[in-house]
Structure formats: structure tokens, C-alpha cells
A and B are shown apart, each in its own frame.
Chain A
Amino acid sequence: MSGTILLIAITYAQLALAAATCLASLRALHGPRAQDRVLGLDTLYVCAMLLLLVTGMRTNHVYFFEGALVIAVLGFVATVSLAKFLMRGEVIE
């Protein structure tokens, strides 16, 4: 009984997060300006991270958590450096 409830909820969460990833990549693909693309990429990172967490809950593996942690850190660094590039035209001054 509890397995059925959890399986339905996890499947719904995976589908919703996959749809969210598709929408974020849509904004990243044809955002009108560069800052829209960076924002879409940042959202894409967060959605992929949540998708990995939920997949880890489904399969009961601990490795998905580590992958999600790496995605979170890399997403932060990527967005900050892209925002700096948009503001100054160079990343390291």
C-alpha cells in the first residue's frame, strides 16, 4: 500500500521535473537576449538536480545524491561566471 502511494508520487514528480527541464531548455534555446539564456540554463541545472534526487529515492542508491551535489555546485559557478561575463566582457580580470 505504501509502496503504491510512493511509486505514484515519485512517478508524478519525475514527469513534472522532466517537463520543467524541457521548459527551461526551451527558454535557454530561444530566449530573446543572452541573459534569458543564462537564466534558462540556471533553471535547467536546478531541475536536473531535483530530478537526480527523486531518481535516487526511487532506486535507493546513494550515488545519485553525490551527482546532485556536484550539479548544484557546478550550476552556481557556471551562472556566476556567465553573469560576470555578461557584465564585464571577461571572467577573470
Chain B
Amino acid sequence: MSDHLNALPLWAAILIAALLVLGSSLTLIGTLGLVQLKSFFDRLHAPTLGTSWGTAATVLASMLMFSLLGGRTVIHELLIGVFVMITTPATLMLLGRAALHRDRAKEFPASEGGPKEDDHRERLPRDEV
């Protein structure tokens, strides 16, 4: 099963192994933070460890390995890396704004339920007080 692993030169094996260990350890630390941290806005930051260098190191290791095995440059793993790095800030920012909105709705429960225009008009004097 590991015949293709033995075909790699030693320096490449050490480099790929270091990248793999770095990426998976960072992802594990990120999810540990996701479980351990106290408030939601703290926890929002923890998994980005896995989506930044966790993904980048794993993708780099995969690219290096398949390039050396195939004897040509294999860069289609870059697709995953670039996609994850671009989309993670957008999704987490949307999620953070949704959580803020829910917190405010919990704080002013009278503004929930109605149409948005009435909602806005109702809440303005309340916010000024």
C-alpha cells in the first residue's frame, strides 16, 4: 500500500511530513479552542487556525507529494486552498453579524416579529433613551 511513499526522496519525505504534522496540529488546536473558549465571539476566532495554515500546510504537502510522484507540476490542490482562504472570512463575518443581530433581538424583544419598517421606527426612540 505504501509503495508510492517509498519512491519519494528523503528530503521530500521530511518536508512533507513536517508540513502534514504542522497542518493537522494547528487544526486540532483550533478545534480545542472551539470547545474550550467561553463566549461565542471568542469561539468565532478559534477554527480560523485550521482554515488558514491548517489548510495551507496540508495542501502544500499534497501538492509537493503528487508533483514529485507524477514527475510534473500538480497544482490543482491550490483550488481548495484558495477557495477556503477566500470564503472563510466572508462566512465567519456573516455568522458574527447574525449572532450580533440575534443578541440585539434578545435584548429588545419588543422589536421582534413585525415588518422591518415598523421595527425600525419602533426601535429608534427606544435606542435613544
Q: Which residues of A contact B (CB under 8 A)?
A: 1-3, 5-10, 12-14, 16-17, 19-21, 23-24, 26-27, 33-36, 38-40, 42-43, 46-47, 49-50, 53-54, 56-60, 65, 68-69, 72-73, 76, 79-80, 83-84, 86-87
Contact = CB atoms under 8 A, between A and B. Distances in A.
A84 B94 contact: yes
Contacts of B97: 83, 87
A26 B59 CA distance: 26
Contact of B17 (A9, A39, A42, A49): A9
A27 B44 CA distance: 12
Interface in B81-110: 83-84, 87, 90-92, 94-95, 97-99, 101-102
B8 A80 contact: no
Nearest to A79: B91
Contact of A53 (B30, B31, B34, B77): B77
Nearest to B14: A5
A89 to B, nearest CB: 10
Interface of B: 1-6, 8-10, 12-14, 16-18, 20-21, 23-25, 27-28, 30-32, 34-35, 40, 43-44, 47, 50-51, 54-55, 58-59, 61-62, 65-66, 69, 76-77, 79-80, 83-84, 87, 90-92, 94-95, 97-99, 101-102
Given A6-B13, A23-B28, 12 more contacts: A3-B13, A8-B17, A12-B21, A33-B102, A35-B95, A42-B92, A42-B95, A43-B30, A46-B50, A50-B58, A79-B94, A86-B99
